[in-house]
Amino acid sequence: MERTKIAEKMERQRTMLEEIDRERFDFRDADQSRYKTGKGLTADIVTEISKLKNEPDWMLEHRLRSLDIYNRLPMPSWGPPLDELNMDEIVTYVKPDTSMKNDWNQVPGYIKNTFERLGIPQAERESLAGVGAQYDSEVVYHNIREELRKQGVIYTDMETAVREHEDMVRELFMKLVPPEDHKFVALHGAVWSGGSFVHVPEGVRLDIPLQSYFRLNAPGAGQFEHTLIVVEKGAGVHFIEGCSAPKYNVLNLHAGCVELYVREGATLRYSTIENWSRNMMNLNTKRALVEKNGTIEWISGTFGSHITMLYPSSILKGEGARSTFTGISFSGNGQNLDTGTKVVHAAPNTFSTIHSRSISKDGGVAVYRSAVDILPGAVGSKSSAVCESLMMDNASRADTIPVIDIRCDRSDVGHEAKIGRISDQAVFYLMTRGLTEEEAKAMIVRGFVEPVAKELPLEYAVEMNRLVSLELEGTIG
C-alpha cells in the first residue's frame, strides 16, 4: 500500500478513535440528581449522608471516626503528585433521581440509556449471572438470576446489605481495610456510598460472572463505593468490576474500597477494566484475605484516569493459599498511572505470582509499584514476579519500584523486570513478511498485552484489545 494511502487510513482511524471514544465513554447526561451534599468534607455532611441512608448508629459512628482519622492522617509522601486534589471542591454524595430497581424498564430512561450505551443490559442477558449498576453515589439497578438466589447467593447493594445482613456486614466492614490504613481509606470510611455485597455460600460455584458497573456522571463529584465479597468454604465466583465517567474540566475523585474474604478452599477471580475519564483522580484500595487453600486471582486493566494509585493486595493467611495478579496499564498524555500489587505470605506453602505489563506513550507515566512480604513461618512459600514495561517514545516514563521483604529462609522468591521499546528487529522481520511498520508495531503491542487479555472473558478481552488498538492508533504513524 502506498504511504499516502496508509496515512489516509491512519488519519481516518484516528478520527474514528475520537468519535468512538467520546461516544462510548465520554458522553454525559445532564445533572438530574435528586439530592447532593454541599462541597467539602465536614462532620455535618457525613452525618447527613448517614441519615439519608437511614443507617444504624454503629455505621454513623464508624463514619465520624473515619473522618477524624482522615483529618489527622497526612497526605502520602510518595507516589504521584496529588496537589490538584482539593477536597473543598468535591461533592461527596450525589443521589440520582431514582431508587434501586431490579428491572431495567423501571430505571429512568436517561440512566438506562447510559448503561445501554455501555453495553451492560446486553451483557447481562448474554453472559452474566447478576448485575449491579451504580450511577453517581447510589446503585440504581441490581439483579441476580433466580437459580443463584435459590442456591443462597446474595448479591445486592451495600446499603441493603447493611440493613438486611447487618451482623455479617458489621463483623467484616472495613476490618480488612481499616480507616487507619491511609488517608483515602479514611475518607472512604467517612463518605462511602453504594457498591456491592456478595455472599457465596459454602460449596456453591458460579459458572458465569457477576458484574458491577460504576458510572460517575456528576461533575466535580466523588464516588466512594464499597465492595464486600465473602466466598465461603469451597465456593467460587468470578466478579467483574467496570468503571467509567464522562470527561469534565473539573477534577472528579474516586476512592472506592474493596474487601474480599476468600475462605478455605474457595476461589475468587476479581477482574477490573477501568476506563475513567482523564479528569479523574482514582485513589482506590483493594484487599483480599485468603484462607487455607483458597485462591484469589486479580485481573486488572487500567486505561483511564488522570492519576491512579491502585495496588490490589493479597494477604495469604492460610496454609496453601494462592494469589495471582495479572495487570496491564496503558498511560497516555496527561496520565500518571501508579499501579501494582502487594502480597503478604503469612502462612506456610503459600504461592503468589505477579505478571505486570505497562505501556506508556505521549508523555504518559506508568509506574509499577509492588511489595512482596514473606513473613517468618511462611515456610515453603514461593513468589514469582515478572514486570515488563514498553515505552512508545522518550517523552514518557516507565518506573519500576518493587520492594521484596523476606523473613523466612525456607522460601523461594524471584523477581524479574524488563524495560524497553519495540524491537526494531521484530518490526523489520514482520515488515519482510508484508506488514506495514504500523501494522507490525500494533501486532507486537497486542502480543505484549495478550497474557492479560487471555485471562479475561472473551467479550472483555475484545474490549481491552479494542481499547489498546484505539490508543495505539493515536501514537503510531
Q: In the complex with another protein, which residue's Cβ is closer, 388 or 455?
A: 388
Q: Which stretch binds another protein (CB under 8 A): 43-51, 76-84, 159-167, 269-277?
A: 76-84
Tell me which amino acid residue 354 is: I
Strand, helix or coil at 222?
A: strand
Q: Which stretch binds another protein (CB under 8 A): 10-18, 74-82, 135-143, 193-201?
A: 74-82
For residue 21, the minimal CB distance to another protein (Å) is 24
Residue 335 interacting with another protein (CB under 8 A): no
Give the sign of the dihedral formed by CA 403, CA 329, CA 236, CA 228. positive
* Residue among 314, 396, 436, 475 that touches another protein (CB under 8 A): 396
Residue 401 interacting with another protein (CB under 8 A): yes
Residue 391 interacting with another protein (CB under 8 A): yes
Q: Which stretch binds another protein (CB under 8 A): 36-44, 73-81, 293-301, 465-473?
A: 73-81
* Residues contacting residue 471 through CB under 8 Å, at least 6 positions apart: 303, 330, 332, 359, 361
406-445: contacts with another protein (CB under 8 A): 406-421
Give yes or no for a contact between 299 and 455, defined as CB atoms under 8 angstroms apart.
Answer: yes
* Residue among 371, 426, 430, 476 that touches another protein (CB under 8 A): 371
* Widest Cα–Cα separation across the chain: 71
**Run of H or E residues at 470:** helix 458-473
Q: In the complex with another protein, which residue's Cβ is closer, 401 or 444?
A: 401
What Å distances lie between residue 237 and 196, 233, 258, CA to CA?
14, 12, 15
Q: What share of the chain is helix, strand, coil (3-state, %, to 5)?
A: 30, 35, 35
Give the total of residues touching another protein (CB under 8 A).
Answer: 38
Phi/psi at 100 (nearest 5 deg)? Answer: -75, 135
Question: DSSP character for 396?
Answer: S
Residue 152 interacting with another protein (CB under 8 A): no
Give yes or no for a contact between 221 and 169, defined as CB atoms under 8 angstroms apart.
Answer: no
Strand, helix or coil at 54?
A: coil
Q: In the complex with another protein, which residue's Cβ is closer, 282 or 411?
A: 411
Residue 392 interacting with another protein (CB under 8 A): yes
* Residue among 54, 105, 249, 394 that touches another protein (CB under 8 A): 394
Binding site for another protein (CB under 8 A): 77-79, 369, 371, 376, 389, 391-421
